[in-house]
Amino acid sequence: MTDMKGMEQSLLGPEYLYWKRILKPSDMGMSDDGNFGALANNIGGLINYVEVLVTGKGGSTTGGPLGDKFFLKTGGQCTDVASNKLVDRHIYINNIPNGNIPFISSGLGGTNFTHFEGLIPGTLGNLGKLNPLGVFKSFMMGGEPPCMSITLDTVTPVTDSNFNDTGQDNNGTETKYVAVADVINMDPCTFPGKTNPADPSQRCSETFVNSRYDYDSDSSSSTSSSSSSKQKSKCKYKYSTIPNIKKYRKNKNKKNVEKTIMQDFSKLPDDLYVKAFYACISIFSLYVLYRFIQKYNKK
The pLDDT > 90 percentage for the chain reads 29
pLDDT per position as a tens digit, 157-214 = 999 888 889 999 999 999 999 999 999 988 888 898 889 999 999 888 765 434 333 3
pLDDT per position as a tens digit, 281-295 = 777 777 777 777 777
Say whether pLDDT at 38 is over 80: yes
Per-residue model confidence (pLDDT) at position 85 = 95
Tell me the residue length of the chain.
Answer: 299
| Distance from chain centroid for Cα 78 | 27
How far is the CA of 87 from the CAs of 36, 75, 144, 148, 208, in angstroms? Answer: 63, 11, 9, 10, 40
Task: Label residue 22 by pLDDT band (50, 70, 90).
Answer: very high
Say whether pLDDT at 5 is over 50: yes
More confident residue, 298 or 269: 298
Task: Label residue 254 by pLDDT band (50, 70, 90).
Answer: very low
E strands of the chain, at which residues? 69-80, 86-94, 146-159, 165-179, 239-243, 260-264
How far is the CA of 83 from the CAs of 44, 87, 102, 146, 243, in angstroms? Answer: 56, 10, 37, 11, 43
Per-residue model confidence (pLDDT) at position 78 = 94
Alpha carbons 127 and 136: distance in angstroms, whole number: 18
pLDDT per position as a tens digit, 120-144 = 888 877 776 666 666 666 667 778 8
Per-residue model confidence (pLDDT) at position 232 = 39
pLDDT per position as a tens digit, 52-97 = 888 888 888 888 899 999 999 988 999 999 999 999 999 999 999 8
Which of 28-42, 250-264, 274-288 shows the highest mean pLDDT? 28-42
Pair 103, 272: CB distance under 8 Å: no
Pair 45, 25: CB distance under 8 Å: yes
